[in-house]
Amino acid sequence: QSYPSNGMRSRSSGDVESGPSGPSGPVLERGPSVGNSIQKRSDVRSDVVRRATIHEKKLGQFLRKFAPELMDIRNYDPDDLCNQLMHVDMGLIKSIHPRSMLKKLWKSKNATFLCPDLMHAIATWNKRCYWVATAILMDNDVKGGGLAAFSKRAKAFIKRFLHIARQCVKMGNYYCASCILCALKMQCVRRLAPAWDLLSKESNKDMEFLEEACSRKSYWERFDKAQDTREIHIPHLPLLLDALYQIEVKFTKDSDDHINLSKYKKQWNIIFGLMKTQRSNSFKIPKNDELISALSSAVHWAFPEEKLYSISYKYLPRSRNTIVGRRSGRTAGLSILSRGSPRTTAASPPPNPVNGSSSRATK
């Protein structure tokens, strides 16, 4: 007799089993149940996740082993790199919907679902920042040279990135320029005094020019100037989001639910500049698909923060008197761009953050 209702079946009366104490009566056996199938599916899912994690680790190890030789910026012309970075960053900015930059959506818990286009641009900015730091601190080609050889190599990369950032500013690509400046100001890079001392006066001037161009006051002057002309202007994403965030914080509805038109006017002045860049068709630089592909994939083999600090301390040990702690040495306010702790989200603020409300929000 079968029991289809509960998945149980019994043996017939003729089927007698011999137990330890002799013959037994009818024995009930459990048939296939829903719980068992769910458990099997859960096991399969966990096995797939485990295999994917192992594959990702192996892929990361492979990229970190071979990618530095495949994407060494010293093998490319800086002007070509700037031109192709313009293509990559223009595509990122054009993919952002203006509505994603309102109501602090990028700071919400469901930011990945509410504004995936903006979160992708933020993630790319973060990854590129770590890629720049990784390229400077990579020591795969330093063989027995010690601090002198490591400093000489780091100096060459710092000089090249400063040149690229300066060209990006001249071309109006503040997205990339601010990213490079933030990477150069990371404590694991900034603490390499022997490498910075080797820089020439021209490179030091490039650093001063970059800091001045990406500062709040200077950038907003350039932003307003670009709105009156047809110049290409890829915006400084950290400053843009910081200004919009300060506007949302300062201008809110009053108790009578009256709408503050000044708030929407200030938001429109900023977002209109973004929309003008998205509609621009004056960008006529030939594409290099091979170089664009290399630049897009290079950011995926960037070292994590702990690895960068371990390399920095390897050649220049930590000093209690001169080296600040890791947490205080980071660029301040790492959670401005995206929600989360600084360790898990590398979204960095403007290179020279100013405490308090943004000058753009209160202007």
* Cβ(237)–Cβ(123) below 8 Å: no
Name beta bridge partners: 29: 9
* Average pLDDT value for residue range 178-186: 94
Which one-letter amino acid corresponds to residue 9? R
* Average pLDDT value for residue range 16-21: 43
Closest CA to 132 of 103, 164, 109: 164
* Cβ(210)–Cβ(174) below 8 Å: no
DSSP 8-state symbol, 22: E
Count of helix runs (H) and strand runs (E) in the chain: 15, 5
Rounded to 5 degrees, φ, ψ at 356 are 95, -165
In sequence order, what are the residues at sequence separation of 6 or more whose Cβ sits closer than 8 angstroms to the Cβ of residue 100?
Answer: 106, 114, 115, 117, 118
Q: Using the predicted structure, report yes or no on whether residue 168 has a pLDDT greater than 90.
A: yes
* pLDDT tens column, 197-236: 999 999 999 999 999 999 999 999 999 888 888 788 899 9
Closest CA to 235 of 93, 124, 34: 93
Lowest mean pLDDT among 31-35, 246-250, 336-340: 336-340
Say what the pLDDT of residue 360 is: 62
Q: Does domain 69-252+260-315 have CATH number 3.40.50.720?
A: no
Residue scoring higher pLDDT (80 or 354): 80
